[in-house]
Structure 1
Amino acid sequence: MTFYEQLLQATEPDRNALLSLPLITRGAAGELSLEAYVAFLTQAYHHVKHTIPLLMSTGGRLEERYEWLRVATGEYIEEEMGHQEWVLNDIEACGFDKEKVRHGKPGLATELMVSYAYDMVNRVNPIGFFGMVLVLEGTSTAVASHAAKAISQSLNLPASCFSYLASHGALDVEHTQFYEEIVNKISDEKDQQLLMHAAKVFYKLYADIFLDLGEQFMVRA
């Protein structure tokens, strides 16, 4: 069994718990209000905008033995440039004020997930950041494209409202393959265990964002 397979196996319960949350299942079924969808995009903006700074910090703090991973991190940076603006453009296409979102504050759950990511990279071990990559890209691959289509049909919204979700559903399939390749090169057992731990924590923190949104918009199982 490869390390990537071990990672998926170890985090499967956490992934299933996230994907079974009411906001995600109802989103995939096209049962969200416009306000709930925009609220999701708002929280997405407030963590997506940190992707590049976090990747840069990760690359800078990797040990010399991980030079190959630093190169791979540079490729991720190129791929992720400007994605936060996609989110803002979707918000505007839905008829909401993207500048208000840009200059607003994240919800507490979002703020805590971002804070944990920076703490992991800068204080603990930058390898742990790839636990966040597993959670965010794996979730996108699983539900993003389907949810975009379902919400678009139920709310009668144009494709311009779904550039973030629609693109990430397809894009993250390629990213997942790339992720699998680099994760399988991590052979240090301590780093492997740390990555597993970080991924499980990020699943919990990301789930908290959807739980908060679910409570706000009265989404119930």
Structure 2
Amino acid sequence: MRGAPVTSSAAALLRLELSLVQPALRTAAARMWRSGPGLPARYRHYLRTMHQVIRASVPLMERAAERCEALPRDPVAPPLARYLRAHAEEERGHDDWLLTDAAFCGAPPGELTAAVPPAHVAALVGAQYYWIEHSHPVALLGYIAVLEGNAPAPGLAGRLARETGLPPAAFETVRLHADLDDGHSADLDRLIGRLPLEPGQRSLIAVSALHTVTALAELFDRIATGPHTSGSTHE
């Protein structure tokens, strides 16, 4: 028997669960962005790695929406598909922002697009494909909640420009995501509050979110410790 529709307390509970593990993610991000002579190389490594992650965002959402549209009798699926289709359009082209930033750092587009994605990037993104295909596409909401709930700090782009000596235009993606992602997180919280989620679906969102925190923290740690060579399969 399907549970009663939940209120925004479902989103609040997810945020509470995430608050218990997010200190590890913030610590990893702080190590990645620490001041010092290695910061310019770390930033270029960040651009390359995040391009590998972000270029998967729209295809992930489109595939999850397709799976929803194949579940017409599932009351969660239609509103979830509408959200994912709309959000995919909002996110479309963000991977190109990273290519532009990299160009201002002196990196040609091929340095990002031709690099072999390492296993830890595949672990972060690939788990979502598994849950979309073999469980329920609602899992993707946990992934989105973490990525958009941990936007760069508002002043980070300016600090990075000052400390790296790179042009301010090289940090547009960091700046824009600091501005945009708070509003996206609020939209997601409202959606989670409206969806008639079963207990198992709420658990799936939480499992996806917690995995994303763990995998993203590992990704940041690897950037923080290097090596910062392009195209490495062992980053």
CA RMSD of aligned residues (A): 1.8
Q: CA deviation at 1:26?
A: 4.4
Number of residues paired by the alignment? 214
1:138 aligns with 2:149: yes
Runs of 4+ in 1 over 4 A off after TM superposition: 26-32
Question: 1:113, 1:206 within 8 Å by CA — same for their partners in 2?
Answer: yes
TM-score by length of 2: 0.85
Question: 2:142, 2:205 within 8 Å by CA — same for their partners in 1?
Answer: yes
Question: 1:52, 1:80 within 8 Å by CA — same for their partners in 2?
Answer: yes
TM-score by length of 1: 0.90
The residue aligned with 2:5 is: none
C-alpha change, 1:15 and 1:115, in structure 2 (3 Å) is same
Which one has the largest radius of gyration?
2
Q: Secondary structure at the match of 2:115?
A: coil
Pairing partner for 1:127 from 119, 125, 138: 138
The residue aligned with 1:87 is: 98
The residue aligned with 2:187 is: 178
Work out the percentage of aligned pairs sharing the same amino acid: 20
The answer to which of 1-10 and 208-217 deviates more is 208-217
The residue aligned with 1:164 is: 173
Gaps spanning 5+ residues in structure 1: where?
none
The answer to which of 127-136 and 180-189 deviates more is 180-189
Q: CA deviation at 1:104?
A: 1.3
Q: CA deviation at 1:28?
A: 5.1
Distance 1:128 1:152 in 2: 36
Q: CA deviation at 1:118?
A: 1.2
The residue aligned with 1:109 is: 120
The residue aligned with 1:10 is: 17
Q: CA deviation at 1:217?
A: 5.2
Gaps spanning 5+ residues in structure 2: where?
1-7, 229-235
The residue aligned with 1:188 is: 198
1:204 aligns with 2:223: no
The answer to which of 85-94 and 209-218 deviates more is 209-218
Question: 1:109, 1:212 within 8 Å by CA — same for their partners in 2?
Answer: no
Distance 2:21 2:223 in 1: 19
Q: CA deviation at 1:72?
A: 1.1
Letter in 1 for 2:9: T
